[in-house]
Amino acid sequence: MPKCDNCDKLIAKKSTILECNTCSKTVHATQACTRLTSKQLAALRNTENLEWTCEICRRETPRQRSFVIQEEEEEDDEELLLTQGTDSGSNAMKKVTKRHIIRELKIDAMEQYIGNLEQKQLNNTFEVAGVPEIKDENTEIILNTLATKLNIVKKEITTVKRLKGKNGKEGVIQVSFKQEEQVDQWIKAARKVTILAEDIVSCPDPATARTKIMIRRALSSANKTLLWQAKQKLKPLINTDCDAICVTLDLWTLRKTESYIAVTGHFISRDFQLKTILLDYCNFSGHHTSVNIAAELRRILDDWDLTRKVNFAVSDNASNVTNAVKNHLGWKHYGCYAHTLNLVLQDSLDYLKDNLGKIKKKC
């Protein structure tokens, strides 16, 4: 007496069974053994042309899509133009042009897909910038010192290496981890403190010693190129078309630990067109002192060669920002009108809250 290949129980002679059309396994014609619903079992029982395949064969047998979109056979573009008559020459040219556009779109989509894969491979990697390269350096020792300064435990690190710099500049130190969560912990710790190059290695040059160490997520070469190209495209426009510029800036803290700064430039071009450019949007590490804010603003404006072209800056009325702009950078400062109006209304509401009861009694 045969056994069910699923439950390993004996199959009675008068029992209804199902046989797999691929591997010929036999099972009880029940929902538990076939993994089918009652409606599917009823359809198999009442229809002659339906066949049953066991779960293992369905999982392991490769499947092919039944719906296939057949593409037209591509002809050679030059041959297509030569075989067309003069009357249909314009239509042939349109067809060739459309085909070229589709090819370019496919290439762009493939390049974007490859770029996304490259960036995904760097999700568990960060870069340390600002560390001077010394002779016979040991990147492991540098990372140990950095971990001590950040008060963080160094673990689950796979590779530590210094990348080769370009255009005579020093390369960054790239650190990879087994898990992406470790990268988040290091970056979060780096935002709470300010670390200088002299805190990590011995620097004979005083200017280099005061360089701030930056820890940031690693970017793929494609994204770095995209960022560099965007800056190179905008810099000539600013240098040739911008004689004076005004900046607006804002600082805020997210989740009580992550601080950010955004600086936007506004200027009127020589053809009297108002231009607005986001100069930078980045993390702001360290305390929000006027000295640190002024240093960060100077770094951003120096990167665009705009420090000497600033007429005035607009921000909220925070004393640290106002002091940084006026006293440390020497720029004119104007408080944001919307922020000032909001403060006036808040003070008015507080005054009314205290005196509203007295006013009601007198009325």
Select from 186, 201, 217 the last residue of a domain. 217
Distance of CA 70 to the CA centre of its chain: 37
Cα–Cα distance, 252 to 321 (Å, whole number)? 12
CATH number at residue 236: 3.30.420
One DSSP character per residue, 183-249 reads HHHHHHHHTTS--BGGGTS--SSHHHHTPBPEEEE---HHHHHHHHHHHHHHHHHHHHH-S-EEEEE
pLDDT digits (tens, 9 = 90+) for 255-285: 666 788 999 999 998 888 899 999 988 878 6
Q: Quick one: pLDDT at residue 59? A: 66
Same-domain status, 89 and 115? yes
Query: Within a domain: residue 185?
Result: yes
Query: Within a domain: residue 353?
Result: no
Tokens in use for 287? Answer: 């305390």
Cα–Cα distance, 184 to 174 (Å, whole number)? 15
pLDDT over 80 (residue 110): yes
- Tell me if 161 sits within 8 A of 171, measured CB to CB: no
Query: Within a domain: residue 362?
Result: no
Same-domain status, 43 and 88? no
CATH number at residue 192: 3.30.70.330
Same-domain status, 337 and 297? yes
Same-domain status, 238 and 270? yes
37-41, 47-51, 234-238: which range is least confident on average?
Answer: 47-51
Cα–Cα distance, 344 to 351 (Å, whole number)? 11
Q: Quick one: pLDDT at residue 111? A: 80
Same-domain status, 234 and 304? yes
Same-domain status, 207 and 303? no
Same-domain status, 168 and 256? no
Q: How much of the chain, in percent, has pLDDT values that exceed 70?
A: 87
CATH number at residue 40: 3.30.40.10
Same-domain status, 274 and 309? yes
Q: CB neighbours of 125 closer than 8 A, spacing ≥ 6?
A: 174, 175, 176, 177, 183, 217, 218
- Tell me if 46 sits within 8 A of 38, measured CB to CB: no
Q: Quick one: pLDDT at residue 320? A: 92
The rounded mean pLDDT for the chain is 81
Query: Within a domain: residue 349?
Result: no
Query: Within a domain: residue 279?
Result: yes
Same-domain status, 130 and 240? no
Q: How much of the chain, in percent, has pLDDT values that exceed 90?
A: 18
Residues 92-104 have a mean pLDDT of: 78
Query: Within a domain: residue 354?
Result: no
Domain count across the chain:
4
Query: Within a domain: residue 356?
Result: no
Kindly report the CA angle at 362 between 361 and 363, in degrees rounded to 5? 90
Q: Quick one: pLDDT at residue 73? A: 45
Same-domain status, 169 and 152? yes
Higher local confidence (pLDDT), 66 or 171: 171
Same-domain status, 211 and 228? no
pLDDT band at 62 (very low <50, low <70, confident <90, very high): low
Q: CB neighbours of 355 closer than 8 A, spacing ≥ 6?
A: none
Same-domain status, 51 and 102? no
The residue range of the domain holding 2 is 1-63
Query: Within a domain: residue 155?
Result: yes
- Tell me if 114 sits within 8 A of 154, measured CB to CB: no
